[in-house]
Structure 1
């Protein structure tokens, strides 16, 4: 009997874990980053307006996010140094965007350091995600 219960428990854990490996939705990232931002800023709520301003501003450096990704996140961009094509950032135009924790964290990690010289805060991430979610196709 115990063996059967253990097998059932292990099967349930595997089923739950498989859900975490599946694709996520943009709203999942927005909720996660808003919750993280509220830990240091109670009452924080993401703003698409702030996200657009953040995305298109240079933050004291030469580059903004829009330098490579364009000011229209539904359009294809091009890397400023390599010339490599970049698919649209808006999930409405590119369903592969904001679909996995691994790619989203890699994207924010690399690009925030390029544009800001530091990691983005959870609030900045929430604002950018909110803006990308409102962008037309």
Structure 2
């Protein structure tokens, strides 16, 4: 019985730890999270402006993702093809919180020289969600 109890605890712990990874998240759910963290509603027009403007570095988000990220982009220095960023044109975008955070962190540092704020993330994502087929 003790053996069964220990095994049950281990399996329960694993299930709890893995369940968030197994759950799909939608771009709208991620937007709601960033908006809550920002404490203010997202502003899509501000997101588009942030996306297309250079910020202290020589790049903008649109340098690689194009000004209308509904088509493939290309990395500005490596030339690597980048799939569309807008979720309506690429359902894999913003479907995994860890990936979203990884790429926001990396790309914001490349473009702005710092991490993006939750408000900036919510604004950009809100704008990307306005781009429809």
Alignment-derived partner of residue 69 in structure 1:
65
Q: 1:119 aligns with which of 115, 118, 121?
A: 115
Could you say which residue in structure 2 is the equivalent of 1:32? 33
Partner of 1:41: none
Cα distance in 1, alignment partners of residues 66 and 12 from structure 2: 46
Q: 1:84 aligns with which of 55, 80, 84?
A: 80
Unpaired segments ≥5 residues, structure 2: none
Map of 1:1-137 to 2, 5 A cutoff? 7=8, 11=12, 14=15, 18-21=18-21, 22-38=23-39, 44-137=40-133
CA distance in 2, matches of 1:113, 1:127: 17
Moved more, 91-100 or 58-67: 58-67
Shift of 1:62: 1.3
TM-score w.r.t. length of structure 2: 0.86
Aligned residue pair count: 130
What CA deviation, in whole Å up to 9, does each residue of 1:19-71 have, x standing for no partner? 42122100111011011111xxxxx1001111101100102321100000001
4+ runs of 1 displaced by more than 4 Å?
10-13, 16-19
Does the residue aligned with 1:110 lie in a helix, a strand or coil?
A: helix
Specify every segment of 5 or more residues in structure 1 that has no aligned partner in the other structure, as ranges. Answer: 39-43
Note the C-alpha offset of 1:13: 8.3
Superposition CA RMSD, Å: 2.2
